[in-house]
Chains A and B, each alone.
Chain A
Amino acid sequence: MLSVLTDNWELFRDGFWTTIKLFVVSGLLSLVLGTVLAGFRVSPVPALRAIGTGYVNILRNTPLTLVFAFLVFGAPKMGIELPSYFWSAIVALTVYTSAFVCEVVRSGINTVSPGQSEAARAVGMTFLQVLGIVVLPQAFRAIQPPLMSVMIALLKNTTIAAGFSVLEAGAIPAAIAERGENQMLTLVWITIGFLILIIPLVFLQRWAERRTAVAA
């Protein structure tokens, strides 16, 4: 049981390290892009609102695998080359996840009491100031639990990169298959690896949930 892990340790180590890199980089990027899109969706400019709505509706209804396939097989055919498969994966995960982040942030904006933004407007703040200084900081407190769900989904979605030539945790079974190891044990170890990564996130989420529950 243990030998599958110890004999192929460098494969597991590199695989999960790539998974973590994918998760952190695309997580941060999609937080930024998702928040900007949420700002678009509540802005006074109709064209920006339309862009935000269109983006979210299209990306939320597209399989992530299709986004990956388009970037990896399609984009080079129209002369758009990304530096590596790793970066294709980052772009695909970011583009997809930011649609979900946008929806969470937008629902968070709706939870902030209207009096807050009314008061901010009364002291003469502009739209960007109301959003950036008053509303978003309060919104982010309320949305920590659902945001964490989106991030957990992102962590699990990184496995899809395995189908597109990125050597992350999901690609370990295919890499190990050639060595004649027991595939079931390999998968069990990968599962354990993901549990180790996800359980802290779940506890963080529960903690955030409790904290906001007391505040409300």
Chain B
Amino acid sequence: MSAVLYDVPGPRARARNMILNVVVVVVLLAAVAWIVYRLNDTGQFQSRRWAQFQYKSIQEQLLTGLLNTLKAAGLAAVLAFLFAAVFAAARISDHKWVRVPATFVVELFRAIPVLILMFFFYYGNLQFHLGLGPFWAVVFGLTLYNGSVLAEIFRAGISAVPKGQREAAYATGLRKNQVVRLILLPQAIRAMLPAIVSQLVVLLKDTALGFIITYNELLYVAKQMGGRLEFGFPYIPTYMVVAVVYIGLCSLLSILARYLEGRTRRSRKIAPGTDVPPAAPLSDGFSREGNAFPDLGGKDSN
């Protein structure tokens, strides 16, 4: 699409782009060189600053931090799904007395910063002696926020399923429960899977907030490692290592989300004749090629 913004380059434009390209690469290399120079100049590559990664106890400490991060993310993800399932169901309820409070709860938790949600459990624990450590503050904070966002994703997915599906299901005599469970949800989850996985990236990233409320996760461990005088305060080496871990984990999830998105888009182009229902269009507001006749799958050219 972006190729529409400029013409196919002729000889002069090609030469100009080539020059620009070289200039940009030179500037980029200069910036990288400057950073490396600064790192080297301040002794960040000295072996004493990297030495602690060789110690087994410190490797174990890092691993514990990583496991704690994954533990909090995993548990929060499961709880958030449960929360989302309940509140999404409540939000599409026919009863006003169920729908209104659920809407209120979901909107409220989406508006409060996650860190403040964690503070509620963290300080609540200190004040009322509930015996819940920072781990639970992280998990509950993440659950409430991501659960609310997921509830909205579920709801949007269900309402994006073409109306005919619902009408046909009611026409065959299914009850509302069955319509939602058997007809709408399977199609909605397929359409919403990329958004759900993207939300898991957010959840995983937000576990790093545990650092602020003294939960012993990866970033917290990194701070302790960086603060060691005997290794010359190796903040930069440890943050480099930790950044690689975080970016690696999140990138894997992001790639999965993109792959799923590509798959849902492709499945719309199944050869005519196979009676697989077309996936609902993503309601991101941007899909301009909104197919007026989704049943005519296979006619898409792009």
Residues of A within 8 A of B (CB): 41-42, 44-48, 51, 57-58, 60-66, 69-70, 73-74, 77-80, 107-111, 114, 117-118, 121, 127, 130-131, 135, 142, 145-146, 156-160, 162-163, 170, 173, 177, 182-184, 186-187, 190-191, 194-195, 198-199, 202
Q: Which of B13, B42, B119, B239 contacts A187 (CB 8 A)?
A: B119
B90 to chain A, nearest CB (A): 21
> CB distance B6 to A78 under 8 Å?
no
Can you list 14 A-B pairs with a CB-CB distance of less than 8 A? Answer: A42-B2, A44-B6, A47-B24, A57-B254, A63-B206, A64-B208, A70-B243, A73-B223, A77-B44, A79-B38, A110-B2, A111-B288, A190-B116, A191-B116
> CB distance A163 to B123 under 8 Å?
no
> CB distance A70 to B239 under 8 Å?
yes
Interface residues in B224-257 (C-beta closer than 8 Å to A): 226, 233, 235-236, 239, 242-243, 246-247, 250-251, 254
B111: interface (CB < 8 Å): yes
Residues of chain A within 8 A (CB-CB) of B4 are 114, 117-118
Interface bits B13-27 vs A (CB < 8 Å: 1, else 0):
100010011001100
Determine the main DSSP class of B at the interface with A.
helix
Q: Which of B17, B207, B209 contacts A160 (CB 8 A)?
A: B209
Residues of chain A within 8 A (CB-CB) of B28 are 47, 51
Given A77-B44, A156-B114, A159-B113, answer yes or no on A69-B211 (Cβ-Cβ < 8 Å).
Answer: yes
Question: How far apart sit A70 and B242, CA to CA, in the bound complex (Å)?
Answer: 10
Given A46-B21, A163-B212, answer yes or no on A184-B123 (Cβ-Cβ < 8 Å).
Answer: yes
Residues of chain A within 8 A (CB-CB) of B239 are 66, 69-70, 73-74
Question: How far apart sit A153 and B246, CA to CA, in the bound complex (Å)?
Answer: 20
B115: interface (CB < 8 Å): yes
Q: Which of A64, A74, A114, A191 contacts B236 (CB 8 A)?
A: A74
> CB distance B127 to A184 under 8 Å?
yes
Residues of chain A within 8 A (CB-CB) of B236 are 74, 77-78
Q: Which of B39, B114, B208 contacts A66 (CB 8 A)?
A: B208
Residues of chain A within 8 A (CB-CB) of B24 are 45, 47-48, 51
A83 to chain B, nearest CB (A): 18
> CB distance B223 to A121 under 8 Å?
no
Given A44-B9, A46-B21, A65-B219, answer yes or no on A194-B112 (Cβ-Cβ < 8 Å).
Answer: yes
B282 to chain A, nearest CB (A): 12
Residues of chain A within 8 A (CB-CB) of B126 are 183
B225 to chain A, nearest CB (A): 11
Residues of chain A within 8 A (CB-CB) of B9 are 44
Residues of chain B within 8 A (CB-CB) of A70 are 239, 243
**What 4 pairs across the A-B complex have the smallest Cβ distances?**
A163-B212, A63-B208, A61-B250, A42-B2
Question: How far apart sit A61 and B254, CA to CA, in the bound complex (Å)?
Answer: 8
Task: Kindly state the interface size class of chain B when it binds its partner.
Answer: 35 or more
Question: How far apart sit A45 and B211, CA to CA, in the bound complex (Å)?
Answer: 40
Q: Name the residue on A nearest B242 (C-beta).
A: A66
Question: How far apart sit A57 and B6, CA to CA, in the bound complex (Å)?
Answer: 25
Q: Which of B6, B123, B211 contacts A130 (CB 8 A)?
A: B6
> CB distance A61 to B116 under 8 Å?
no
B259: interface (CB < 8 Å): no
Residues of chain A within 8 A (CB-CB) of B127 are 182-184
Given A44-B9, A61-B254, A173-B123, answer yes or no on A156-B211 (Cβ-Cβ < 8 Å).
Answer: no
> CB distance B5 to A127 under 8 Å?
yes
Interface bits B145-178 vs A (CB < 8 Å: 1, else 0):
0000000000000000000000000000000000
Q: Which of A42, A78, A114 contacts B39 (CB 8 A)?
A: A78
Question: How far apart sit A90 and B11, CA to CA, in the bound complex (Å)?
Answer: 44
Residues of chain B within 8 A (CB-CB) of A46 are 17, 21
Given A121-B7, A127-B6, A184-B120, answer yes or no on A156-B113 (Cβ-Cβ < 8 Å).
Answer: yes
Question: How far apart sit A63 and B25, CA to CA, in the bound complex (Å)?
Answer: 28
> CB distance A111 to B286 under 8 Å?
yes
Residues of chain A within 8 A (CB-CB) of B197 are none
Question: How far apart sit A127 and B212, CA to CA, in the bound complex (Å)?
Answer: 45
Known: A45-B17, A65-B209, A195-B111. 13 other contacts (CB 8 A): A60-B201, A61-B247, A62-B205, A63-B209, A65-B208, A66-B219, A77-B236, A80-B38, A107-B284, A121-B6, A184-B123, A190-B116, A194-B113
Given A44-B17, A64-B205, answer yes or no on A110-B1 (Cβ-Cβ < 8 Å).
Answer: yes
B222: interface (CB < 8 Å): yes
Q: Name the residue on B nearest A158 (C-beta).
A: B113
